[in-house]
Structure 1
Amino acid sequence: MEFYSYIKGLHLIFLISWMATLFYLPRLFVYHVENINVSDYVKVVRIQEHKLYYYIGWPALVLTVITGIVLIAMQPSIMTSGGFMHVKLLCVVLLIIYHFVCGNYVKKFKTNNVKRTSKFFRIFNEIPTILLIIIIYMIVVRPF
């Protein structure tokens, strides 16, 4: 069971890295939209968006999912101990979809093909926060 703790620790580290990406990337989208006519600024933000998504976000997502699968495989009874885990996994799926949507925006920003406002991205930026709150509540409180 000691090995389980190490995997759980790694899972949390990777999760934090992934969530940092999902929190900051939409904020970069806000700055990008608000400064769309400042070409030097846009060049820098495009690089930041690309590196954050592909070099930090993707590896963190993959490693979070892998360590999560390993944790479930090591303790499969967690899947039958209540509905909390199913709600948590639903939120994880929604975070993965959100991640892909962010990637789509990264690609659109590269070609100046984004029609969204900074207000949209400010609201869009709240989605991972809400999902993370639900995930933490489900795992810590296990309400059902």
Structure 2
Amino acid sequence: MTDFLFILYPWIKSLHIMAVISWMAGLFYLPRLYVYHVENAGSVEGASAIFETMELKLLQVIMRPAMIVSWVCGLILVMTPGIVDWGYVWPWTKGASVIAMTWFHHWLALRRKDFLAGRNSLTGRQFRMMNEVPTILMVIIVVSVVVKF
């Protein structure tokens, strides 16, 4: 099994990186869609339905599959012997940040349900501020993995 993981390692790592890029793109774009939804949907008839469709497709077609592939490939990489030294801090900071990013993904999905139910209470400014969350988590993850402190 160890030999098999070593053979697959560069392929799994490549897939992991591609999935993370896709997931991050969605995490950056969805809060921006919410800003536009809050600030512009009321001014054009039918715009709210268009935003809701865009948000749904982004969540279900891009973000959810990318998150799942990121997690699966990441866990396979972690199980590959010799890749992670748990005596360092970086695997723990990366892991905590990935869990936080997953929580943020689900928080965004709940905000979509608020829009659908007509009970969104957040402003465009608040969604703009939330748009910084994935950036902060990305910085922590990249520095953790590259610097390996």
| Consecutive aligned runs of 4 or more in structure 1 exceeding 6 Å deviation | none
How far apart in 2 are the matches of 1:76 and 1:108? 45
8 Å Cα contact 1:79-1:86 kept in structure 2:
no
TM-score by length of 2: 0.91
Q: TM-score, normalised on structure 1? A: 0.94
Aligned position for 2:3: none
Matched, 1:128 2:134: yes
Q: CA deviation at 1:6?
A: 0.7
Q: Give 1:55 deviation, angstroms.
A: 1.3
> When the two structures are aligned, how many residues end up with a matched partner?
143
Unaligned runs of 5+ in 1: none
- Is 1:35 paired with 2:4? no
1:12 aligns to what SS in structure 2?
A: helix
Query: How far is 1:81 from its partner?
Result: 4.0
Deviation at 1:39, TM superposition (A): 3.0
Task: Select which of 9, 20, 24 maps to 2:29.
Answer: 24
State the identity as a percent: 35
Alignment counterpart, residue 63 of structure 1, candidates 62, 69, 83: 69
Which residue of the partner structure matches residue 49 of structure 1? 55
Deviations for 1:62-112, whole angstroms, at most 9, x for unmatched residues? 110000000011136514241111000000000000000000011111122
Quote the RMSD (CA, aligned, Å): 1.2
